Amino acid sequence: MTEEIVASFDYQIEKDDFKIAGSASSHIKKILKQLGLPNPLVRRASIIAYELEINLVIHTVGGAMHLEVHPNCVVISTEDMGPGIEDVDQAMTEGYSTANDTAREMGFGAGMGLPNIRRCSDEFSIRSTFGTGTWIRSEIHVG
Ligand SMILES: Nc1ncnc2c1ncn2[C@@H]1O[C@H](COP(=O)(O)OP(=O)(O)O)[C@@H](O)[C@H]1O
Ligand SMILES: [Mg+2]
């Protein structure tokens, strides 16, 4: 990752805010398109940002998402204020979900978000402290 930053944005994501859920990831998609990044990269980044954003809405008390565009990579990261993940390996398993009935009625809770984020990333890391919060970082290489 080069030090130079081409673009940088921060988004606050509120718990249970279904009305605007998806707007931060839509903005990220728009910015990456405007910067002229290749369509396949924009598609992957949009999936990552959308899944991260929805997870903040339905699984956390709230948090923040960050976009950082460098000449050779795009980094999307989140940090939240809890509740944290007790078993990260289990959370990363396809089909595993703790989404509640409200989230499921809205079509969320397939348990594919984190696995898809990892699949779409060139570099992926997740750190969580149960009771405190979760930090996730996804990097996509440019070119
Ligand atoms: N930021 C987060 N904080 C707490 N738990 C999370 C977070 N992101 C994901 N999880 C946990 O990991 C599980 C799997 O996430 P995901 O693969 O996105 O599936 P889904 O969102 O459909 O449940 C969630 O059901 C939840 O238990
Ligand atoms: Mg999810």
Residue nearest to atom 8 of ligand 1 (CA): 55
Counting atoms of ligand 1 from 1, which one is nearest the CA of 94?
Answer: 17
What is the domain extent for residue 131? 7-141
User: How many domains, the chain?
Assistant: 1
pLDDT at position 143 is 84
Determine, yes or no, domain membership for 98. yes
Determine, yes or no, domain membership for 81. yes
Q: Tell whether pTM > 0.85.
A: yes
Determine, yes or no, domain membership for 62. yes
Residue nearest to atom 11 of ligand 1 (CA): 91
Query: Which residues neighbour 116 within 8 Å (Cβ) at sequence distance 6 or greater?
Result: 47, 48, 51
Q: How far is CA 49 from the centre of its chain?
A: 4
pLDDT at position 19 is 85
Measured in angstroms, how far is the CA atom of residue 40 from the centroid of ligand 2? 21
Residue nearest to atom 6 of ligand 1 (CA): 59
99 or 20, greater pLDDT: 99
Q: What is the pLDDT of residues 77-126, one digit of tens each?
A: 999 999 999 999 999 999 999 999 999 999 999 999 999 999 999 999 99
Determine, yes or no, domain membership for 1. no
| CATH assignment of the domain containing 17 | 3.30.565.10
Q: What is the pLDDT of residues 54-81, one digit of tens each?
A: 999 999 999 999 999 999 999 999 999 9
